[in-house]
Amino acid sequence: MLGIGDLADGVARSVETLGAQVSEAFFEPVIRLGVTGLSRAGKTVFITSLVANLLDRGRMPQLRAAQDGTIRSVFLQPQPDVTVPRFDYETHLAAMTGPAPHWPDSTRAVSELRLSFKVQSAGLMGSLRGVRTVHLDIVDYPGEWLLDLGLMEQTYEDWAAEVLGRISSRPEAAEFLARAGGVDPSGAMDEQMAKGLAESFAGYLQAARKAGWSDCTPGRFLLPGEMAGSPALTFAPLMKPAGSPARASLWREMDRRFEAYKSRVVKPFFRDHFARIDRQVVLVDALGAIHAGPRAVEDLRRAMADILSAFRPGTGSWLLSLLGAKRVERILFAATKADHLHHSQHPQLTAIVSALLREAKDRADFAGARTEAMSIASLRATVEEEIEHHGRTLPAVRGRLASGRQAAFWPGELPGDPAQLLVPARQGAEHWLDADYGAMAFLPAAIHLKPGEGPPHIRLDRAAEFLIGDRLS
């Protein structure tokens, strides 16, 4: 059922397409900001810190509307979508900035939060227009769910053959492959067998994700949310037996469940959440992939290309018909956790993210969306420090480890030319030729926030300016 708020939003949005001026005079505009990225990319930390830094804007000089006083106040509001879980901002912020700072629990499913801005610009126009309210609905959802878009155009037979081919040499898949090899797909459907196969396949996906693989679909197998254990999530890839499998066979039932997954899981997500997004940030843990090695980088590149295909649906695709004329207007690609690097290496990181996305970007310009790449740290956990090593001065960072000990860290020198990483990755190299990139898990630093200050970050204000700045002026 639609509430009054939903109706008002819907009307506001359609009027906005006719003319923003008209809608602003009568309605309170709503910006829907999607936040996505693969698991552990940094979505939860990003949203928590962004919200805290929008509520207390002392560390947001690059957000123009905050700097020049256009934003009069910001407050959290009950969100309009009553069926979507609320993003647990308070708990996450308490984890990050409390007396024993630690990282919050990660994104498991879609969630939402509404921030409302009271804005009034300076000058005559400002006083004529008075104080306006702009709502920002932040929608957090796993990037793995976007990867599922690829399944929509595939049959079970094609999907299963492709997955089985792709994972055949991965050690993480050995247990599942042995189990799948031991069943007769043309035999009678058996629920226990289906369950065992699905669990084993889900186990493989979890292990693959931990090992640094990004192509871990179906997305709900990794992050099932409220659908855990349902038949639409109880299937696995099996080779099609010769001939035409009987109706009651294991293979036919798997085929039926795959189709149910598409229509009951993937489609509703795109319809109810994705199709309503105006601005999007895609978070990328590029440093993590670089640390894991060339194959993880290549895999990340492919996964990002797949994720981005959702933002430029092909002609005739079902997504295009679902979206109609609606498009995401701005997309920010942000390399997260940049506080693992001294600032002198941030341009290299940004260049790597741009290059990772270039191919996907070049194929189509996201149907007119403005795009930008950036390196950010949502919560800065380190300070910069120069360290001496074998007679060289290295630009490093220092932070707190899980043991409580402080440690300085230099991850290695990122190349100025991203091709030095992306080319070997594409060629299937096993290791980086002449470099090793370290990783270190720092805990959030203990912080004492002054009144009016949000948590420390790197470039979160620039990210906010790109994503929503124009709508706050």
According to CB under 6 A, which one of 107, 214, 345, 350 is a site residue for ligand GDP? 107
- For the chain, how many residues are written? 473
Q: Does 44 bind ligand GDP (CB under 6 A)?
A: yes
User: What's the min distance (Å) between Cβ of 449 and ligand GDP?
Assistant: 16
**Closer to ligand GDP by Cβ: residue 173 or 223:** 223
Closest CA to 32 of 11, 45, 54, 13: 13
Q: Does 43 bind ligand GDP (CB under 6 A)?
A: yes
Q: Contact region for ligand GDP (CB under 6 A) — 16-24, 43-51, 68-76, 252-260? A: 43-51
**Closer to ligand GDP by Cβ: residue 163 or 205:** 205
User: What's the min distance (Å) between Cβ of 262 and ligand GDP?
Assistant: 24
Q: How far is it, in rounded angstroms, from Cα 337 to Cα 380?
A: 8
Q: How far is it, in rounded angstroms, from Cα 428 to Cα 255?
A: 33
Residue 451: partners with Cβ closer than 8 Å, 6 or more residues away: 56
User: What's the min distance (Å) between Cβ of 458 and ligand GDP?
Assistant: 8
Give the binding-site size for ligand GDP (rule: CB under 6 A): 21
**Closer to ligand GDP by Cβ: residue 234 or 336:** 336
Q: Does 339 bind ligand GDP (CB under 6 A)?
A: yes
Q: Does 39 bind ligand GDP (CB under 6 A)?
A: yes
**Closer to ligand GDP by Cβ: residue 134 or 334:** 334
Q: Does 42 bind ligand GDP (CB under 6 A)?
A: yes
User: What's the min distance (Å) between Cβ of 437 and ligand GDP?
Assistant: 15
**Closer to ligand GDP by Cβ: residue 23 or 39:** 39
| Dihedrals phi, psi of 352, to nearest 5 degrees | -65, -45
- CA distance readout (Å), 31 to 145, 175, 268: 22, 46, 21
According to CB under 6 A, which one of 257, 276, 301, 337 is a site residue for ligand GDP? 337
According to CB under 6 A, which one of 34, 37, 185, 454 is a site residue for ligand GDP? 37
Per-residue x/- mask for ligand GDP, residues 368 to 387, rule CB under 6 A? ---------xxx-x------
According to CB under 6 A, which one of 103, 317, 383, 415 is a site residue for ligand GDP? 103
Closest CA to 142 of 279, 51, 296, 35: 35
Asked if 337 contacts 285 with a C-beta cutoff of 8 angstroms, the reply is: yes
Q: Which two tokens stand for residue 327?
A: 């498009």
Cβ-based neighbour number of residue 235 at 10 Å: 25
**Closer to ligand GDP by Cβ: residue 29 or 455:** 455
Closest CA to 198 of 165, 221, 168, 174: 221
Closest CA to 322 of 270, 245, 378, 255: 270
**Closer to ligand GDP by Cβ: residue 176 or 442:** 442
User: What's the min distance (Å) between Cβ of 356 and ligand GDP?
Assistant: 17
Per-residue x/- mask for ligand GDP, residues 179 to 218, rule CB under 6 A? ----------------------------------------
Cβ-based neighbour number of residue 259 at 10 Å: 15
Fill in the amino acid letter for 60: M
Per-residue x/- mask for ligand GDP, residues 436 to 455, rule CB under 6 A? -----xx-------------
Q: How far apart are the first and last CA of the chain?
A: 34
Can you give the three-state secondary structure of 236-272, one letter per residue?
Answer: CCCCCCCCCCCCCEHHHHHHHHHHHHHHHHHHHHHHH
Q: What strand order describes the sheet that includes 330-335? A: 71-77, 111-119, 132-140, 30-37, 279-284, 330-335, 370-375
Strands (E), 123-222: 132-140
**Closer to ligand GDP by Cβ: residue 106 or 206:** 106
Q: Which residues bind ligand GDP (CB under 6 A)?
A: 37, 39-45, 103, 106-107, 336-337, 339-340, 377-379, 381, 441-442
